[in-house]
Amino acid sequence: MVVAFVFIIIVALAMFFALRKKPAVPTPMPVGYKELLIKHVAFYRNLDDAGQLLFRQKVQSFLGYVRIHGVDTTVDDLDKLLVAASAVIPIFGFPEWKYYNLTDVLLYPGNFSETNFSTTGNPDVLGMVGEGAMQRMMILSKPALHNGFGNTMGKENTGIHEFVHLIDKDDGVVDGLPEELLEKKYTIPWLHLMAENIAAIKAGKSDINVYGATNHAEFFAVASEYFFAQPALFKTIHPELYALLSQIFHQHPPGGGMRNNWGN
Ligand SMILES: [Zn+2]
């Protein structure tokens, strides 16, 4: 009887220690991450020391809850950092932000098909946010991810584009209207401004990528790429759009000649 009792105590203690929550271990940052960010991410390069520290903390937090996988391709430290940078740039103005609608990012070796996710046939998609069975997943073409950060004169960034769709989706629908982020009084001006700019793109009178004329959701994502990639140029050519996007994202991207709003 006593033996059985002691045995039960031992088993209970073993279970207690086995099930006790391990202390949270921060995800180790990739080796040489500071140098990689300086070299490859202009947004990070243009931040002051305090901004860079905050950016690194947000990168670490993101890599702590999102897994990045390669599908028929490898994933190295720079790939991980570029995915994380794409995620952090549009939410950099928010003190707390977690992509609750994302758990996994799949990197593909190139363009893929939107219907069967195949890289053969007629692959014309560079990135997408999953729906249905692919909920909480994002797919990115690895070359497109790199091109977005490699071309310092460009207005396009596939990674940022897809994360802006996720931010848009935070209120339940991807419709170009991030209702959680935009004060009610700006809703009508934003809808007008989108319509006006989509018409200008269709008339060939805009330097915004023609893909932005597809619908409101794509306009929001495409204009945001330009806003973050070339803030100074965007502010000069599209001052009204710049003003509203800086309201939505709670920030003036570094390099745009405006004082930032995260502490200095
Ligand atoms: Zn899109």
CB-based neighbours (< 5 A) of ligand 1, an ion: 218, 221
Flag whether pLDDT at 22 surpasses 80: no
Q: Are strands 67-70 and 137-141 parallel, antiparallel or unpaired?
A: unpaired
CA of 261 to the centre of ligand 1 (A): 28
| pLDDT score at 112 | 78
Tracing tokens 């609750």 back to the chain, one arrives at 100
CA of 162 to the centre of ligand 1 (A): 6
Flag whether pLDDT at 19 surpasses 50: no
Look at the domain 26-249 and name its fold.
Answer: Collagenase (Catalytic Domain) (3.40.390)
Q: Where does the pLDDT of residue 133 fall: very low under 50, low under 70, confident under 90, or very high at 90 and above? A: confident
CA of 157 to the centre of ligand 1 (A): 11
- Span 138-151, average pLDDT: 94
Flag whether pLDDT at 4 surpasses 60: no
Q: Would you tell me how many other CB atoms lie within 10 Å of the CB of residue 203?
A: 9
CA of 222 to the centre of ligand 1 (A): 7
Provide the residue ranges of all domains of the chain, joining segments of one domain with +.
Answer: 26-249
CA of 178 to the centre of ligand 1 (A): 14
Per DSSP, 106 falls in state E
CA of 127 to the centre of ligand 1 (A): 7
CA of 185 to the centre of ligand 1 (A): 26
E strands present in 21-148: 67-70, 104-108, 127-129, 137-141
CA of 75 to the centre of ligand 1 (A): 23
CA of 181 to the centre of ligand 1 (A): 19
> What angle do the packed helices 142-150 and 77-91 form, to 10 degrees?
60
For the chain, how long is the longest CA-to-CA vector?
89
Residue 102 amino acid letter: L
In angstroms, what CA-CA distances link 22 with 18, 58, 61, 79, 151? Answer: 9, 23, 18, 29, 43
Percentage with pLDDT > 70 across the chain: 86
